[in-house]
Structure 1
Amino acid sequence: MKKTILLLATSMLFVVSCSVPKQNTTTVIRKSATDSLTNRLQQLYNKGYFNGFGVAIVDDQGVRYKNGFGYADQAAHKAYTVQTIQSIASISKTLVGIALLKAQELGKLRLDDPVNSYLPFEVINPNFPETTITIRHLATHTSTILDNENYLNKNYYLKPNQDLNGLPLVFDDTQILNPADSVVSLAVFTKEMLAANGKWHNADTFLNKAPGVHYEYSNTGTTLAAYIIERATGEPFDVFTQKHILNPLQLKDSGWKFDAIDLSRLSRYYQDPETLLPYYTMSSYPDGGFMTTINDLSKYLQELIRGYNGKGTILSKESYREFFKPQLSAGHFTERNTQNPYSESYNTGIFIGFGYTGYIGHTGGDPGVMAMLFFDPKTSTGRIMMFNTNFSTPEGNQVFYQIWDALGR
């Protein structure tokens, strides 16, 4: 699959070489650009900071370039391709945003409804008990819900039935991998984290600011939004998104849980090029557990670009306008990131971010996983990267962004 554009260009070259020299020249230029990009990305891979990664360039008409480099399994020399499956970490949150707006279209909820209208327990910031937390607050990271230390040590769980011989069970001294048979549901996770009597609730669960006035990125708040979708629609979150996002876009190689994907195509994850990590899942899976391929994620990005341009298929034009509308102002931020155009924390739509230059998308990072998805609304062109290896050095960080910049050129 990774040679699609090259094969198409070659086919066009054969046809037009018999008739229209001008088209022949254009085709040669396109092939040369594709080959040049592939060579550059191969050079960057050869620096040795990542075991495997996939990339794509997408516009509203389709995929312009896609490729995989390195290995999905280094020890087995299994190639990383555009059909390799891996987690995209927090880019998953954009699907929560789409799902919220679909549930609103279906009349199941409204973004400005209080969260407690849908919950079997109360979520109240004890510092501001009279201020209502709304679904929109969750979707714009202004709910004041924080990720306390229990988010890290009560959230990650080992995948069942895997060989753990010699593999680390704690990431970065904070993210503890719990036994596979102790994983809990969204209902249990959100209650124990957020209810006043929850066993994982503590003094660091809420920010000491009123809901709605301050941006503070929240994985736990995202998970609560997904649970509200379950409560409002009567369907498990993964089932709802399968029906309303994955199936319509024909994302056939994607899913939230291990039993929804082809495990033979799942990449291994690496803390660094030498350190293999075990497979894991999360109780808060909607905030970062979506697993997909470059092929499928390209379809999703194409839909987002089309949605921004009023041509989307899974939401109405009105819903896409709400999804992409900047929801906050400078007053919501203590500091705004104007150094990295691909930080999504300059402003936010409904679980989708804006860089200060206007790029729209999201980043993602979890143990052994890094990903980026952004598009330029001025050109309707977007880029995707998925890595199965974390970088832990300034040099690795530099190569990461050199790969991103190569796609932009």
Structure 2
Amino acid sequence: MTKPILIGILSLIISSCATKRKGHSEEFIKTQNELTEKITKVSNQSAFNGFGVALTNDKEVLYQNGFGYANVETGEKYTENTIQNIASVSKTFVGIAIMKAQELGKLKLDDPISKYLPYKIENPKFRENPITIRQLVTHTSSIRDNEEYLHRAWLLFDTINIEKNLKIDIGVCKFSSPSTEVSMEDFLVNVLTENGKWYKPNTFTEYKPSQIFEYSNMGTTLAALILEKATGEKFNEFTEKYIIQPLKMESTGWGLRSIDMKKHSRLYIDKKTAYPYYTCVTYPDGSIITSSNDMSKYICELIKGFTGNGTVLSKESYKELFTPQLNSENFIDRGTSEYSDEYNMGVLMGFGSTGNFGHTGGDPGMFSVIWFDKNSKIGRYFVINTDWDDKASGKTQKEIYDILDEYALKLDKLSKEEK
């Protein structure tokens, strides 16, 4: 199987590099092709069936491409236009949406969430400490992802082989039948309000709001619901209007019902076994579906925003988005590795111990990351379509990261010299 993969991908070396623009030097194109060749060699021995990568600076997309297979059974290649979900990297869209809503005068970060809700959501141990929007977007709201979230939020997309698929092991989470689907708001009300039918005492932590960082998918989804209440618009429609359409992310949407399924990669348990298609009730916390091509545009905009030249948000909003909000007292177990996105938090934007920033994501059959070097102002995107294996996947990831880091600097230098 190695030779067909290699030949198939090498045939795309020139055509796949949609980053090429009129005026790029031969040296720039040669460097792009070298990068493709090096990653292709890694992909042939990869732990992943397929993956996408992208590199950008604050002026342009330096590189984007796909490798391996989007569908092993049909032989469909993974390209820069292949789409799949990116899990918790989606949370960065929630952060930008909240900042846009604040720009529009619809809400303020330090507003209590009670200002926008017709029901109470509060930590029963600290009723005198109202939860605020800022706490939701910095994971300090004291709302935790309890068993009800883990076992009720994940839904199979169709009823094919449903009895078999409901038994698939996806770790601490479980797949539920499509027939159990409820709206995002109904789900949150039932889990987070004291009269909700799925409410349990462990829904909230033992710490008061604002005190301790605890990563919360439900807290992020609640922030999206607050945005809906404050603006009068559905969250997916608001982000489409203010983020996705302005950036011309034409293959991007929230959930499987919003995208072209023909472009969607299968997600894999291993190199041979595909997962069934699935969705999530709490979709803002991790269900955006997109391509490397579209994410290149998004990452380029974020870097522009960091440098004061963004178009989606104002300079003031981007400054808030990228400002670390927490301190050491807010952490019990602080992520200190170079690529950890939980050393500090902006507005749903994670910071590493080096000051670089971004977000990671992981769901059944995939892993994703966006990461920005604050000094070079170069951004990276990496997404895979196969379950993560700690030993094999980590080795492949490290090899790809090292190659991307090397060529990011080369392409950035050549790009700037050509300006």
Per the normalisation by structure 2, the TM-score is 0.90
- Structure 1: how far apart are the matches of 2:18 and 2:116? 52
Choose from 269, 285, 288 the match for 2:286.
Answer: 288
State how 1:115-134 maps to structure 2 within 5 Å.
115-134=113-132
Choose from 329, 333, 341 the match for 1:344.
Answer: 341
Query: Contact 1:2/1:82 (CA < 8 Å) preserved in 2?
Result: no
- Structure 1: how far apart are the matches of 2:108 and 2:343? 25
2:377 paired with 1:380: yes
1:88 counterpart residue number: 86
Percent identity reads 44
2:304 paired with 1:306: yes
- Structure 1: how far apart are the matches of 2:304 and 2:89? 18
- Structure 2: how far apart are the matches of 1:214 and 1:33? 46
1:37 is displaced (CA, Å) by 1.8
- Residue aligned with 2:253, SS: coil
The one-letter code sitting in structure 2 at the alignment partner of 1:27 is E
Query: Contact 2:90/2:287 (CA < 8 Å) preserved in 1?
Result: yes
The one-letter code sitting in structure 2 at the alignment partner of 1:188 is D
State how 1:387-402 maps to structure 2 within 5 Å.
387-402=384-399
1:2 is displaced (CA, Å) by 6.7
- Structure 2: how far apart are the matches of 1:223 and 1:400? 29
Deviation readout 1:292-319 (Å, 9 max, x if unpaired)? 0000011000000000111111111111
How much is the aligned-residue C-alpha RMSD, in angstroms? 2.0
Relative to structure 1, is the Cα distance of residues 377 and 48 closer, same or farther in structure 2, using a 3 angstrom cutoff?
Answer: closer
1:82 is displaced (CA, Å) by 0.5
Which residues of structure 2 form unaligned runs of 5+? 1-11, 407-419
- Structure 2: how far apart are the matches of 1:176 and 1:59? 39
1:160 is displaced (CA, Å) by 2.9
Relative to structure 1, is the Cα distance of residues 9 and 260 closer, same or farther in structure 2, using a 3 angstrom cutoff?
Answer: closer
- Structure 1: how far apart are the matches of 2:314 and 2:393? 41
- Structure 1: how far apart are the matches of 2:187 and 2:21? 53
1:363 counterpart residue number: 360
State how 1:6-405 maps to structure 2 within 5 Å.
27-28=26-27, 30-160=28-158, 167=165, 169-339=167-337, 341-405=338-402
Query: Contact 2:142/2:205 (CA < 8 Å) preserved in 1?
Result: yes
1:34 is displaced (CA, Å) by 2.2
- Structure 1: how far apart are the matches of 2:159 and 2:92? 30
Relative to structure 1, is the Cα distance of residues 128 and 146 closer, same or farther in structure 2, using a 3 angstrom cutoff?
Answer: same
Query: Contact 1:338/1:356 (CA < 8 Å) preserved in 2?
Result: yes
Relative to structure 1, is the Cα distance of residues 288 and 130 closer, same or farther in structure 2, using a 3 angstrom cutoff?
Answer: same
- Structure 1: how far apart are the matches of 2:330 and 2:279? 32
Query: Contact 1:12/1:27 (CA < 8 Å) preserved in 2?
Result: no
Q: How many residues align?
A: 395
- Structure 1: how far apart are the matches of 2:164 and 2:282? 26
The one-letter code sitting in structure 1 at the alignment partner of 2:303 is I
The one-letter code sitting in structure 1 at the alignment partner of 2:291 is T
Query: Contact 2:72/2:272 (CA < 8 Å) preserved in 1?
Result: no
Relative to structure 1, is the Cα distance of residues 163 and 338 closer, same or farther in structure 2, using a 3 angstrom cutoff?
Answer: same
Query: Contact 1:53/1:388 (CA < 8 Å) preserved in 2?
Result: yes
Choose from 5, 14, 18 the match for 1:3.
Answer: 14
Query: Contact 2:13/2:36 (CA < 8 Å) preserved in 1?
Result: no
1:171 is displaced (CA, Å) by 3.2
Query: Contact 1:2/1:68 (CA < 8 Å) preserved in 2?
Result: no
1:150 is displaced (CA, Å) by 1.1
1:220 is displaced (CA, Å) by 0.6
Relative to structure 1, is the Cα distance of residues 243 and 8 closer, same or farther in structure 2, using a 3 angstrom cutoff?
Answer: closer
Query: Contact 1:2/1:81 (CA < 8 Å) preserved in 2?
Result: no
Per the normalisation by structure 1, the TM-score is 0.92
1:163 is displaced (CA, Å) by 6.0
1:213 is displaced (CA, Å) by 1.2
Query: Contact 1:88/1:292 (CA < 8 Å) preserved in 2?
Result: yes
1:164 is displaced (CA, Å) by 5.5
Which residues of structure 1 form unaligned runs of 5+? 14-25
Relative to structure 1, is the Cα distance of residues 40 and 170 closer, same or farther in structure 2, using a 3 angstrom cutoff?
Answer: same
1:173 is displaced (CA, Å) by 4.7
1:128 is displaced (CA, Å) by 1.4
- Residue aligned with 1:402, SS: helix
Deviation readout 1:356-401 (Å, 9 max, x if unpaired)? 1111110000001110101112111111011111122412222122
Range 201-210 or range 247-256, more displaced = 201-210
1:342 is displaced (CA, Å) by 1.6
Relative to structure 1, is the Cα distance of residues 8 and 319 closer, same or farther in structure 2, using a 3 angstrom cutoff?
Answer: closer
- Residue aligned with 1:83, SS: coil
Range 380-389 or range 175-184, more displaced = 175-184
- Residue aligned with 1:112, SS: coil
- Structure 2: how far apart are the matches of 1:168 and 1:383? 35
- Residue aligned with 2:174, SS: strand
1:23 counterpart residue number: none
1:211 is displaced (CA, Å) by 0.6
The one-letter code sitting in structure 1 at the alignment partner of 2:41 is Q
Relative to structure 1, is the Cα distance of residues 243 and 163 closer, same or farther in structure 2, using a 3 angstrom cutoff?
Answer: farther
- Residue aligned with 2:268, SS: strand
2:417 counterpart residue number: none
1:276 is displaced (CA, Å) by 1.0
